[in-house]
Amino acid sequence: MAAAAKKDVVVRPEGMPTFMDPQTNRGNEEVGAEDLTIPRIGLIQDLSPQRKKSDPEYIEGAEEGMLFNTVSTVLYGEEVPVIPCYFRREFAIWKDRKAGGGFRGAFGDEDTANMALAELEDGDQCEVIETAQHFVLVGHADKWDEAVVSMSKSKMKAHRQLNSLVRMQEGDRFAHIYRMKAIPAQNAAGEAYFNLAFSHMGWVDTQEVYTRANELYEAVKAGKKDVKRDDHQD
């Protein structure tokens, strides 16, 4: 007698009411990868809005030197593992926070960005910022989430460190895991702040995570996913 076919086990998400079907995802039929943006990993400084209770961006428990997700507001602590999947350099135009802030566009080279800046009515309140966009998977709470580490100005040193570490390894960019850590630093005026530092941790050790990293690489390369632009970069 043939053995009965084994039924798939349906896992119900924690907290989902029993009257809901965990196997359906209705309402999202028209949502494609091109409709999605990837949150950034921010770094909290002494005067960051995430520390001010009166600010809409306030995060309970936020302290300077903590890494956090700019969309979910999850606090990662002072270090977190990341898998770099794709790197892109761009020249972004941002309006000064004190003038209302806002993203005005990103360009592949500085000359094009400066020409676009000159055409803006509020261009005198904006600046072109060279930015290294590192699309990564970030490990937290036993899972890997998509995120972007945007590095500009003082963080460009950390960007070069990460790219140098990646170049030293064998295999794909996303074949290795790195530790991203907040470290104390000082600017030219002697003022204290926190910057980023990276160190190599080892190979990605599961095919599932490697496949996810490859999918993020393909989506960003094809222009189907990009960094979330609603918030001003650090």
Q: Kindly state the average pLDDT of the residues 5-14.
A: 65
Q: How far apart are CA 204 and CA 199, in angstroms?
A: 14
pLDDT attached to residue 104: 87
- Position 33 confidence tier, pLDDT thresholds 50, 70, 90: low
Can you tell me which residue has the tokens 């990993």? 41
Tell me the β-bridge partners of 87: 134
Q: Which of 100-109, 157-166, 199-208, 210-219 has the lowest mean pLDDT?
A: 100-109
**63 within a domain of the structure (yes/no):** no
**62 within a domain of the structure (yes/no):** no
Name the average pLDDT for the chain. 89
pLDDT attached to residue 1: 47
- Position 161 confidence tier, pLDDT thresholds 50, 70, 90: very high
Q: How far apart are CA 208 and CA 213, in angstroms?
A: 9
**1 within a domain of the structure (yes/no):** no
Q: How far apart are the first and last CA of the chain?
A: 66
> Who wins on pLDDT, 181 or 96?
181
Q: How far apart are CA 221 and CA 213, in angstroms?
A: 12
Amino acid at the residue 113? A
**189 within a domain of the structure (yes/no):** yes
Question: How many domains, the chain?
Answer: 1
In 3D, which of 69, 130, 147 has the Cα closest to residue 94?
Answer: 130
**234 within a domain of the structure (yes/no):** no
**197 within a domain of the structure (yes/no):** yes
Angle at 30 between CA 133 and CA 39, to 5 degrees: 25
* Parent domain of 182: 78-89+131-222
Q: Kindly state the average pLDDT of the residues 90-94.
A: 91
Residue 176: enclosing H or E segment and its boundaries?
strand 176-186
pLDDT attached to residue 230: 62
Tell me the β-bridge partners of 68: 42, 75
**48 within a domain of the structure (yes/no):** no
Tell me the β-bridge partners of 143: 140
Phi-psi region of 150 (alpha: psi -120 to 50; beta: other; left: phi over 0): beta
- Is pLDDT above 90 for 6? no
- Is pLDDT above 60 for 233? no
Q: pLDDT tens digit string along 193-228?
A: 999 999 999 999 999 999 999 999 999 998 888 887
Q: How far apart are CA 185 and CA 43, in angstroms?
A: 13
What pTM does this model have? 0.82
pLDDT attached to residue 35: 66
- Is pLDDT above 80 for 112? yes
Tell me the β-bridge partners of 186: 192
- Is pLDDT above 60 for 3? no
**84 within a domain of the structure (yes/no):** yes
